[in-house]
Amino acid sequence: MELEFFIKDRLKKKPILLMTHLVLGYPSLKKCYRLIETMVRAGVDIIELQIPFSEPVADGPVIAMANQKALEQGITLKDCLDFAGSVAGSFDIPFLFMTYCNIPFTFGTHNFVKTMAEKGLKGAIIPDLPPEEGKEYLSAMKKQNLSPVLIFSPTTPLDRMQFLGKHGSGFIYCVARKGVTGKQTSFSRQFEQYIGMCREATTLPLAVGFGLKEKQDVDFLCGKADIAVIGSHILQTMEEKGIDCVGEFIEGLTDRTFKG
2, 4, 37, 59: which one is catalytic?
A: 59
Ramachandran assignment for 66, one of left (phi > 0), alpha (psi -120 to 50 degrees), beta (any other): alpha
- Chain segment 22-69, per-residue pLDDT in tens: 999 999 999 999 999 999 999 999 999 999 998 877 777 888 899 999
Count of CA atoms in the C-beta half-sphere (13 A) of 94:
24
CA contacts within 13 A on the Cβ side of 99: 24
Q: Which residues of the chain have pLDDT under 70?
A: 1, 177-188, 255-260
CA 205 to centroid of chain Cα atoms? 13
User: The whole model's pTM is what?
Assistant: 0.92
- pLDDT score for 186: 54
- Residue 194's closest CA among 212, 208, 184? 208
Tell me if residue 45 is catalytic. Answer: no
pLDDT of residue 177: 57
For 2-251, CATH number out of 3.30.465.10, 3.40.50.1980, 3.20.20.70, 1.20.1250.20 equals 3.20.20.70
Domain-wise residue ranges, the chain = 2-251
Residue among 4, 48, 217, 226 flagged as catalytic: 48
* Catalytic (active site) residue 82: no
Please tell me the predicted confidence (pLDDT) of residue 60.
76
Give the pLDDT confidence score for residue 223 in this predicted structure. 93
Give the pLDDT confidence score for residue 82 in this predicted structure. 98
Q: What pLDDT is stored for residue 213 in this prediction?
A: 85
